[in-house]
Structure 1
């Protein structure tokens, strides 16, 4: 009898799990189809059928854009209506035809940023990494070609497939020229999103072309990435709305397309699960934001700038529950909406790897909790960055302690590195935010229930703390002169700093400085008192009101 009951329970549990998988599968199909349709409808308006390129999504005097065109081509194959496949082939032929072919140059095997540009390396158009040429485009375009070849070979003529393989072979060789710290390149295994793409393309192309050197190189690079990840099961490029999204995309390629004999095939799915577990713990569904700190962010509120992570959430919980505006193409950093076809194509597989607890947290905030983890980005980090975040239903506080060889995080960009962040719910339904502007090589933090404390262990009497504070909601105060004017948050400040602070405005049309990532803000700046000798330290005690 006991055995029968156990069997019945097991069958019942199996039935529940099976129903859950069917439910998830059906919704993924619907949500991903919706994402594909909306993004393609938008890009259709930019397609230049005469040139077989997408016009620049910034609409800059009718120039075109190479990477977005390739992403659009993948979407054309996925949609496959009327002459979509024919147009995709035209785009591919154009992009491969313009690939850089001089093996002696640093940008060999890379792709044009836009087809109208002068020849990189000429006297009038000097090579400038991440400006006149972007080495990461090998990874973005190369991985897109692989997805097209894997998912839609029946829509691509044989000669074009061979053309794409030749292009991928060249881009893999060119990517092997990249060495962190050499020729202004910053590609280390800790630069998660391009490094994961690099390992994959090398391993995939090596197997496809029977080139054992490429295969071995891809596996060796993947091992370095995996070893860094396994230290605390986190991406080195931690908690980025944009680049966590790219890393998850690239890890999906590891998991889906690489064989079990590959380290990438063995670890891809596991790394996706751990990454989503971390993101789920840091996500506040009430605010529709992943709590800080953010290693590389292109905004301070995911409801107002377009993040690739939000596109993946769209395929998991639907557009209305994801941190996406009803009109995504109006958001900050909107051009990333062009990667949507790739997210949509991979969603049916990728979403099976998202843990149930994470999926639940994307639907509803669970309960007040604290997250402790770490991430490591050599050679820039002297020791791993220690991360703490405290999340409640209407308030999140997250920060990281670090000691680095650069200012502005591993990306060396103070505008995208947000080492200490507070977000809160405002009565009008909008999200208030505050971020510590990165100005130092080292930071110590303490985070807990309603407070954030930050200090500069290497600071001195000339040190300053700058807290960037978002502007008010639609009906809030237009002018802010003190903490009392900040909408929705009561703030009490203490520490070794001079408690007399300066407030300035950075706006689209004026103020003391420029906007950061399209966001206007008020800058609350604290200095040290005259003759102050202690460690610069400031403590914010905050309460939502």
Structure 2
């Protein structure tokens, strides 16, 4: 990260694919770097960290204690200093990101807990006031629900920080209800609504780590510890060490192969296994998708992964291939196969969830280790609605109107596709379907296969040795 620091601006320089919103000088990611500098505490590290924190604070949108004229972005932060002030009709996640309240606010909170005594009093005061601004802006906005898992957990910590610092009993009451509601959702089925996300499970573990270390109530501390361990157990159950991937389905994912992009779960696992065993890209450049998520790693190293003893070496070896099922809530369930050279996962939701080109939701996720050593993938890329069940090496896919599958084979020029048979190197997929029509389009590594006027497909997978 040191090489990406811009002393003129006082922030890190962005990368081509820094995050979901590429920026010139990413403010959130610079807050992670500042914490890492304070951890390292080398010559001039603290001076640089203080400069970064000051620049970030200067780029917070002010909140006015929840007045009726509060803007939807109040208390959040610019994503980069050159980002223009949002206009009245600004769209969240395009012109601004409301979640920067929680991401940056929680990093400020951690910095205060760990290094507050080393910071100048004026800077400490500004950080506390920034957390208050983030809380006020979020409360006024009323957009957040406890089911928005990763942000809800972090917001619980911010409520706690503000209530304790200002000795505010009313805020403490808001915190109590929020934390209990967030935990209650998990307790229903031992699962979060943002289920099985290679990126956002990493944020969950961050927020829960703050709860267990710095929560001001016994309930926060014990819930943070217990849910962290249960989440790690679920991650380990879905994980194949030989594949270096989590089996799907993915409620939210930015990629299909953790060896091809930086996922925060990969960062976390990388803190407990040798680098060569971590589910991260083997080599990284500024072109690596979500490269900047790697910069969260110093925070994860400090918080430490709380792995249950029963996990053992699950992130180093796959002891036994297995099938599994989980219930997310009353209408959603998942099934998966975890093997040494093959992963498949599916989600059913009573045909109430669809997929489009920009979707992070993957109700079907299939990966296999190809003959050239890389990971091949299959997903649904477009459908009004689909349910997927994994059974005995098969995917049973129910869909409405039409469905499009996207298949990626990193081994060049091995794709052979027709209506009832797909061949991608060492992967053979037999297809049974009631679709009236089918079509496909491909280049040398990727193909999309579309079925129309039907409602069912059965995919039978065979990975050749």
**Matched residue of 1:316: which SS?**
coil
Q: Is the 8 A contact 2:381 2:406 kept in 1?
A: yes
Distance 1:62 1:220, change over 3 A: closer
2:316 paired residue number = 363
Equivalent of 1:327, from 283, 286, 296?
283
2:354 paired residue number = 407
Runs of 4+ in 1 over 3 A off after TM superposition: 59-63, 403-408, 478-485
**Matched residue of 1:231: which SS?**
helix
1:422 positional shift? 1.5
Q: Is the 8 A contact 2:357 2:381 kept in 1?
A: no
For residues 427-465 of structure 1, give each alpha carbon's deviation from its aligned partner in whole angstroms, at most 9, with x where no partner exists: 222111111225234x33331221111113xx3xxx122
1:232 positional shift? 1.1
**Matched residue of 1:275: which SS?**
helix
1:428 paired residue number = 372
Q: Is the 8 A contact 1:235 1:275 kept in 2?
A: no
**Root-mean-square deviation (Å):** 2.2
2:338 paired residue number = 391
**Unaligned ranges ≥5, structure 2:** 65-69
2:67 paired residue number = none
For residues 335-365 of structure 1, give each alpha carbon's deviation from its aligned partner in whole angstroms, at most 9, with x where no partner exists: 2122122112212xxx2x2123334211101
1:326 positional shift? 2.9
Equivalent of 1:298, from 231, 250, 254?
254
Q: Is the 8 A contact 1:316 1:359 kept in 2?
A: no
Distance 1:262 1:129, change over 3 A: farther
Q: Is the 8 A contact 2:375 2:409 kept in 1?
A: no
Cα distance in 2 between the residues matched to 1:143 and 1:413: 32
Distance 1:59 1:358, change over 3 A: closer
In the alignment, structure 1 residue 444 sits paired with structure 2 residue 363? no
1:256 positional shift? 0.9
1:27 paired residue number = none
**Matched residue of 1:112: which SS?**
coil
TM-score (norm 1): 0.79
2:141 paired residue number = 178
For residues 148-198 of structure 1, give each alpha carbon's deviation from its aligned partner in whole angstroms, at most 9, with x where no partner exists: 111112321122111111111111111112324xxxxxx321111111111
Cα distance in 2 between the residues matched to 1:238 and 1:502: 32
Cα distance in 2 between the residues matched to 1:299 and 1:251: 24
In the alignment, structure 1 residue 539 sits paired with structure 2 residue 458? yes
1:466 positional shift? 1.3
Which has the larger Rg?
1
In the alignment, structure 1 residue 217 sits paired with structure 2 residue 211? no
1:15 paired residue number = none
1:183 paired residue number = none
Distance 1:506 1:346, change over 3 A: farther
Alignment of 1:79-478 (within 5 A): 79-103=40-64, 104-121=70-87, 126-180=89-143, 187-259=144-216, 261-329=217-285, 330-347=287-304, 351=305, 353-376=306-329, 383-403=330-350, 407-408=354-355, 415-441=359-385, 443-456=386-399, 459=400, 463-473=401-411, 476-477=412-413
Q: Is the 8 A contact 1:204 1:215 kept in 2?
A: no
For residues 44-85 of structure 1, give each alpha carbon's deviation from its aligned partner in whole angstroms, at most 9, with x where no partner exists: 122111221222233999932211211111111111111110
Q: Is the 8 A contact 1:420 1:435 kept in 2?
A: yes
Cα distance in 2 between the residues matched to 1:449 and 1:407: 25
Distance 1:211 1:368, change over 3 A: same
2:438 paired residue number = 501
In the alignment, structure 1 residue 486 sits paired with structure 2 residue 424? yes
**Unaligned ranges ≥5, structure 1:** 1-42, 181-186, 377-382, 508-519
Q: Is the 8 A contact 1:369 1:390 kept in 2?
A: yes
Q: Is the 8 A contact 2:79 2:96 kept in 1?
A: yes
TM-score (norm 2): 0.92
Distance 1:406 1:469, change over 3 A: closer
Cα distance in 1 between the residues matched to 2:443 and 2:354: 21
1:527 paired residue number = 452
Distance 1:163 1:406, change over 3 A: same
Q: Is the 8 A contact 1:74 1:148 kept in 2?
A: yes
